[in-house]
Structure 1
Amino acid sequence: MTSLCVFLLIACVCDYREHRIPNSLTALMAVQGLIGRMWDEGAVGIILWLGGAVMAVALLYLLFKIGCLGAGDVKLFGVTAGYLPFKKILLFLFFSLLIAAIISLVKMWKENSFGRRIRYLSGYFRELLKNGQWRLYSQKENDRTSGICLAGPVFISILLYLGGVY
């Protein structure tokens, strides 16, 4: 788990500086996670790692599809989930997204944009209910500066796991 923390720290630096997580970092995390699980649990470790990664990606796919999460974020969630016991993955996702939501609320408060963002979100859902179709968030509303970097919440969630919170 030490290597996972180092990888996530690097991912945080990349995400906050460049607003992207390099595929090479995600691939390195995946290889190390697979090898670590295989070392600890034998061949079944590969299946467990893949199962955890696929579960996380499948659960987050809709958020990616409508543009709420970037591909790098989904890949980071997936490879990180592969390191965890299967029964902890939902808690990992929950705490990561809860931390991201808290950061978002603080950011909206600081920017005094809470009302505008809630109006946009409610309009988005009104249109969804009216048309019955998902659509991408507007690029204007979802540009690189309006979102938050999710590597930080993922890292904090893993620290909470290692600290025994879940």
Structure 2
Amino acid sequence: MFILAIASHFDVREHRIPNYLVFTGIVMGLCLTLQEAVEDGNLAVLHEMMAFAGRFLVVTAAFFLLFVCRMIGAGDIKTAALIFGYLGFGTGFKAVAGGFIIGAFWSLFLMALKGSTFQRLSYFLTYLRSLFQTKKITAYYSSSRDGYDAVIPLGFCMFLGTLLAVILV
């Protein structure tokens, strides 16, 4: 939770999550997995560490297309992968899905507040039409073109989703 809190702070303030923070989370996750396996008397330490790393890699690969389309940031993907690495697929799914739902409501609220709902939905449909017509993946979002007004700090949303998932489970 400490790593997620720091990551969400960076996401809100700087619109990015530093790689060193994600790397620290990976190292801590592997160390905690090792510690848990030793405390439980489990000799399959390598198996547990590989499971953590495997979950991290599977989630990173699963979200990669969203990054290629620039619909989600690389730091957000790595944050989601850390959540799955620590919590496993079941609770990790609840945490990340909760974060996405929080982000969706936040986004809808901001669009309604700014009166940009029709504009953003029109922009999204235009993007989809272009994607299907040209069959080329282009960036949905560009900070130089779109600014940061429409950006939702998804790392912060996933932190909140993880808090809810951990408290409610």
Of the three residues 66, 70, 76, the one matched with 2:69 is 66
Distance 1:117 1:149 in 2: 17
Which TM-score applies when normalising by structure 2? 0.86
Over 4 Å off, 4+ runs = none
Q: Which moved more, 1:41-50 or 1:119-128?
A: 41-50
Structure 2 partner of 1:78: 81
| Aligned counterpart in structure 1 of residue 165 of structure 2, from 150, 155, 161 | 161
How many residue pairs are counted as aligned between the two chains?
Answer: 161
Name the residue aligned to 2:57. Answer: 54
Amino acid at match of 1:15: D
Post-superposition Cα deviations, 1:74-119, rounded to whole Å, max 9, x if no partner, equal 1111122210123333333322212211111111111111100000
1:37 pairs with 2:37: no
The answer to whether the 8 Å contact 2:84/2:93 transfers is no
How far residue 33 of structure 1 moved from its aligned partner, in angstroms, is 0.8
Unaligned 5+ segments in structure 2 are 38-44
Q: CA RMSD in A?
A: 1.7
Paired residue secondary structure (1:68): coil
Maintained 8 Å contact 2:98/2:165: no
Partner of 2:103: 100
Note the C-alpha offset of 1:34: 1.0
Please say which structure displays the higher CA radius of gyration.
2
Q: Distance in 2 between matches of 1:83 and 1:122?
A: 36
Identity of aligned residues (%): 29
Distance in 2 separating the partners of 1:80 and 1:160? 13
